[in-house]
Chain A
């Protein structure tokens, strides 16, 4: 099956710092999404980004589909950014597979 690998697995930042999270996938995919999971378990959609670059406030994402990776950039991090960040790829129609996540802890 497809492999979806995220790095780093854990990240500790001081508030105000920038970071880059990476998602590698082993096969061609139909689409790719980034999520933030809050401490209560809720998965929040951040980006739908099968290719190209998108920005939303302090967050931006880039997917290079031909090279099978995606990057999530967090600038000027805040304590509310803490949580787990997942990427998910749609391999076949309606089959979404997740990476293991990056656990981010932003300290004040």
Chain B
């Protein structure tokens, strides 16, 4: 248990579906992140939020839409995805201060059919 919880753990969706991934952190951190991990690729930084404000969008397609209602919750809204978007999506948080240490949730395995 790392203090970062992701749901669902597994998701299968069609290309025309709309679904959301949820992340909640219980660490009192101020920064939250979405990463994508595809087979045979390094973890790719997608979005960063600091104090609920988006500070990084790493050229992510608009079919991925993040939402951060407060410092403890982060969502990734998914719509009209492609099969190549199938991957492990990892949420993380960090204090956002000196000695910044990033902690990850268990991930959401997404399959687009």
User: Is the Cβ of B107 less than 8 Å from the Cβ of A95?
Assistant: no
Chain B interface residue count: which class? Answer: 20 to 34
Chain A interface residue count: which class? Answer: 20 to 34
Binds A, one of B11-19, B61-69, B71-79, B98-106: B98-106
Q: Is B55's CB within 8 Å of the partner chain A? A: yes
Interface of B is mostly: strand
Identify which of A35, A95, A101 contacts B56 (C-beta below 8 A): A95
Write the residues of chain A forming the contact surface with B, with a CB cutoff of 8 angstroms.
4, 30-31, 33, 35, 40-45, 48, 86, 88, 90, 93-101
Between-chain CB contacts (< 8 Å), 18 pairs? A30-B100, A33-B101, A35-B104, A40-B106, A41-B90, A41-B109, A45-B101, A48-B101, A86-B42, A86-B43, A90-B100, A93-B96, A94-B48, A94-B55, A96-B33, A96-B94, A98-B35, A101-B42
